[in-house]
Amino acid sequence: MTAVVRPEDQVDFKPVDLVPLLQVELGLGPCYDLKPKAIVALANTKLSRDAVEGATVKDEAFACRAATRLLSPSFWSPETVRSTSSPTELVDRILAKPPTVGGFCSAVACKVINPKSIDTKTVAWNGALSVDNFAILRSQGQFCTTAEECKKFFRLFKSEKSNEKLGDTVFHVQDKSNPAGGQTLMLMKSNKCNARLAALCTPKWVLLAVYHFVDVDNEASTLQLLEDLRCEAFESRK
């Protein structure tokens, strides 16, 4: 799943449509032969949430998904990151929150050797391979180009060029800022699909995080996840 599922998208959903989302988002595991009411009860237990007396199963399912959207990545992954975290740890952390409740859907990370180069042997990536049927990440293999693409994005931070390709999708720079000394954040969008990319370059590592754009409110909460990760890694001593 790569798309954010908005409340308005769910208006016509039935409980049987909602509970599979809850199963995945909350990691409820197999729920063979369980009716939606029982699955929603499991979700409430996982969320430590009291059911509203007299509420329908559908309303309770909606409420559970709304509560899930407010959860931090720590709910799914208690492991925090540091400035010295490995690319795999960074990718796992930024993808911890499911994309259907506002998380990122794809990510790439690598170590920085010096201001002019990255270590392509450390490039790690995971998540959805495509958004809106446009390829974002390559499958592992002989012809995978993700490491080289990561190198090009690293150069983009320090150049006047305004676009770069990840997979088959070209992303255009919309904004570039410096959240802290030695750190650069680029916000990018595709003109061909609803994929957007937030790229963070630090003296220790580079992280590219892709999300499925739905609206400005959802975008803001998703981007906050990257800012929280950045602060977690570099400002934990404050």
Domain ranges of the chain: 7-69, 73-234
Class of domain 73-234: alpha beta
C-alpha–C-alpha distance, residues 61 and 5, integer Å: 13
Residues whose CB is less than 8 angstroms from the CB of residue 179 and which lie 6 or more positions away in sequence, other chains included:
185, 227, 230
Can you tell me the distance from the alpha carbon of 52 to that of 188, in angstroms, rounded to the nearest whole number? 41
Percent above pLDDT 90 for the chain: 83
The answer to whether 209 and 104 are in contact (CB under 8 A) is yes
Residue-level pLDDT at 1:
42
Q: What is the overall mean pLDDT for the chain? A: 92
Compute the average pLDDT of residues 134-160: 91
Q: Cα angle at 54 between 48 and 55, to 5 degrees?
A: 65
Q: DSSP letter at 77? A: -
**Higher local confidence (pLDDT), 12 or 33:** 33
Q: How confident is the model at residue 3 (pLDDT cuts 50, 70, 90)?
A: low
Q: What is the pLDDT of residue 6?
A: 58
In the predicted structure, residue 12 carries a pLDDT above the cut 80: no
Please return the burial class of 67, using the count of CB atoms within 10 Å of its CB with bins 0-12, 13-18 and 19+.
middle
Q: C-alpha distances in angstroms, 68 versus 142, 217, 232?
A: 39, 16, 21
The residue among 11 and 5 whose pLDDT is bigger is 11
Looking at the predicted structure, is the pLDDT value of residue 4 above 60?
Answer: no
Token pair belonging to 73 = 């990545």
